[in-house]
Chains A and B, each alone.
Chain A
Amino acid sequence: MVRVSAFRLSRAGEGRECCADAVSVRASAGRFAIADGATEAYDSGRWAALLTRAWTRTPVTAGEDVADALARMGEALHRSWLRRPLPWYADEKARQGSFATLLGFQLCGRSGWYAVAVGDSCLFQERAGELRTAFPIGEPDDFGHRPPLIPSLPGSHRGWARGIRVTTGSTAPGDVFWLMSDAIACWYLGTWARRQALRRELHCAMLAPDDRSLGVLVARERRAGRLRDDDVAVLRVEVQVAEPPGR
């Protein structure tokens, strides 16, 4: 049993439709994903959404090579762009393809998990109030401005696969997993060095019945300069204690 809550928000002053971060959840299969479309790339929000959906829809034992699957998705995306005439700048930019990070997370049975990351979208595991895992980035200072990205034209960017990172771990009842895009992940890591109360507030806001509390928290932290003004996406996955049989 897992309890899942999700949140997405654009940069300050922009509508939610501008948010290039994507999340996808398939709790029944224990699959979760978050992706961050590159700001300067073409139609990157859609590419991010395609990547997250592909992760959550793919069965655990994938029959298709990852590179082939990516190429297939990228081709479909490019075909959709070229269905109608584009202005010169869109035509030129679309030919460069799109780019996004991806953090895919898989719960395996009752006691294990694995995660795959390309770029600086992060996975954090909390157990009994301690930070047990920070993947693939463990320090706020390690966030850069040129993270590895997944291209929609993998054939033209053959080196991208060197950016793939994989890790595994164990789960226990009560564990909380966070999937976060880079700005809020950087902020979150900073709360472990100071401001524990902010992290408690984050937990409460994610469990609230609507997005308002988290929106207020993000806006306040941005104003305080502690959270970079970037798109935000958060997934909170709590592994719950199994109910005893017969109840």
Chain B
Amino acid sequence: MYSAEISRRNPTCFLFLLDQSASMAISMAGEQGLTKAAFLTDVVNRTLHDLVIRCAAGPAEILNRYDVGVIGFGADVRSGFSGTLAGRDLVPIDEVGPNPARLEERVKTEPNEAGGFLERPVRFPIWIDPVAGGGTAMVTALTRAHKLLDTWIQAHPHAFPPTVILCTDGEATDGVPVDAAQDLRALSTSDGPVLLFNCHISSQGGAGAIQFPSTPDGLPDRYSHMLFEMSSRFPPGFASAASDMGFKLQREARGFVFNADPVALVHFFEIGTRAALMPPSP
């Protein structure tokens, strides 16, 4: 299980489910002036950037190894893409790369050969914009994900299973999401069931994130226990990605972070998209 080679002929899928409820307009803990929606959007754009870069193989060539979707859930449930891709659900990565809504000019600091640092301008692609309003239609989003991935799996029955990454700062307002999450995780390719990783974003700084627990012991409340139960265990290959970031995952560790601060959120995305690093190379 979770050993299928990811290639152009056998791509995998990443689906991001993003909370766009009104509470996402509150400032992110530890990030003065930056809302949770803005910070999460930035992390997702960075993740999409990295997925595209990983597949870029030549001047006009992006190896089509992933299909990618972004679903926002707030006042309604809809595609999170802006610009050319607005309204699209799952998009091949070779379409994602050339079609950001816009390119922003940013600065990247890099070490130079003389031992110093060099600042150079880079073009940073923006595919999704921050949205915050309405309730938290998490159950509807999970149901929508189920529908999309059921269809996707029928077309890719032997693929490395899709990875679903859900980020929220609060409880669902459209029902209890446990059954919808279980249905989603019951979908399976011949290489294993769909992976569902959940991240709860903190509204308060300094509370301390609980990252990748292997048991619900120590989780503070009923809600955090529920999110834990909704989350998949990490497949074995993910441990090395976590180890690179200083985490020693227990064998039963789950793709779940509670009370994530900015750093924990970035780590969550990097480890959660670990499937993108699966072989081959070269």
A: residues with CB less than 8 A from B are 11-14, 20, 36-44, 81, 84, 86-93, 99-101, 119, 145-147, 149, 155-156, 182, 228-230
Contact = CB atoms under 8 A, between A and B. Distances in A.
Contacts of B5: 228-229
A87 B54 contact: no
B279 interface: yes
Nearest to B9: A13
- Interface centre among A11, A40, A42, A149, by most chain B C-beta atoms within 10 angstroms, is A40
Q: What 9 A-B pairs have minimum CB-CB distances, sorted nearest first?
A: A38-B282, A93-B56, A145-B279, A88-B123, A89-B56, A89-B97, A36-B282, A89-B52, A40-B281
B123 A37 contact: no
A87 B57 CA distance: 12
Given A11-B9, A87-B97, A89-B97, A43 B282 contact: no
A13 B11 CA distance: 14
Nearest to B52: A89
B8 A145 contact: no
A87 B8 contact: no
Contacts of A230: 280
Interface in B195-209: none
Nearest to A43: B58
Interface string B44-69: 00000000111111111011000000
B103 interface: yes
B20 to A, nearest CB: 26
A141 B51 CA distance: 30
Interface centre among B7, B63, B280 (most CB of A within 10 A): B280
B111 to A, nearest CB: 9
A90 B9 contact: no
Given A91-B123, A100-B282, A43 B57 contact: yes
A90 B58 contact: yes
Question: In which size bucket is the chain B interface?
Answer: 20 to 34
A145 B280 contact: yes
Given A42-B57, A44-B57, 16 more contacts: A20-B282, A37-B282, A38-B281, A39-B280, A40-B57, A40-B282, A41-B282, A42-B56, A81-B59, A84-B59, A89-B52, A89-B53, A89-B98, A90-B58, A156-B113, A230-B280
A187 to B, nearest CB: 15
Nearest to B97: A89
Contacts of A89: 52-53, 56, 62, 97-98, 125
Contacts of A145: 279-281
Nearest to A230: B280
Interface of B: 5, 7-9, 52-60, 62-63, 97-98, 100, 103, 113, 122-123, 125, 279-282
Given A12-B9, A92-B122, A39 B56 contact: no
Contacts of B62: 89
A39 B59 contact: no
A74 to B, nearest CB: 13
Contacts of A147: 282
A71 to B, nearest CB: 11
B98 A11 contact: no
Which among B7, B56, B122 has the highest number of chain A CB atoms within 10 Å?
A: B56
Contacts of B282: 20, 36-41, 44, 99-101, 119, 147, 149, 182
Contacts of B7: 11, 229
B181 to A, nearest CB: 32
B9 A39 contact: no
Contacts of B9: 11-14, 229
Contacts of A156: 113
Contacts of A149: 282
